[in-house]
Amino acid sequence: MTGGDVEADEGPRSLNSLATGWSLIGVAAVFGWAVYRLGGRGLAAIQGGLSPTEWTALVAFTLFFVYTEGVLTFDRRWIPKLVARSRRVGDESMMLQLLAPLYGLSLIGRDWKEMAKAWIGTALIVTAVLVVRQFPSPWRG
């Protein structure tokens, strides 16, 4: 193998790494932005003062969601799937690589069942946000 062969082999791997990184960073940025916005609302609600019932609800819901969504869903199921999809995006077309965060989220470039589940999940999250916005403070955060 000559030096030129090594360089030729490095190109596709670096593009795969770039697409993988873009997928993971893009998804992390979306989640980070959501945490930033919702975290500010949550802190404002706490600083405004909570009754004992509201504190109990806050602690109970926090523990419930950290375990069910954070550990069971994100840590054990969703993140491994995201990482696997992000690693595969480098083998896809340039258009899918440019849209790598959407590919990582299974919103594009998957079979119809997988995409339908992803789009339904996204719609349910948007619906939940719109419903919770209607709650009185401090319940909406």
Q: Give per-residue pLDDT as tens, 85-134.
A: 999 999 999 999 999 999 999 999 999 999 999 999 999 999 998 898 88
Residue 80 near residue 86 (C-beta atoms within 8 A): no
Predicted confidence (pLDDT) at residue 137 exceeds the cutoff of 60: yes
Predicted confidence (pLDDT) at residue 17 exceeds the cutoff of 80: yes
Residue showing tokens 């993140």: 79
- Interatomic CA distance for residues 125 and 107, integer angstroms: 14
The overall average pLDDT reported for the chain is 87
Q: Give per-residue pLDDT as tens, 37-54.
A: 888 888 888 888 888 998
| pLDDT of the residue at 18 | 92
Global pTM value:
0.75
- 13: pLDDT confidence band, cut at 50, 70 and 90? low
SS3 63: helix
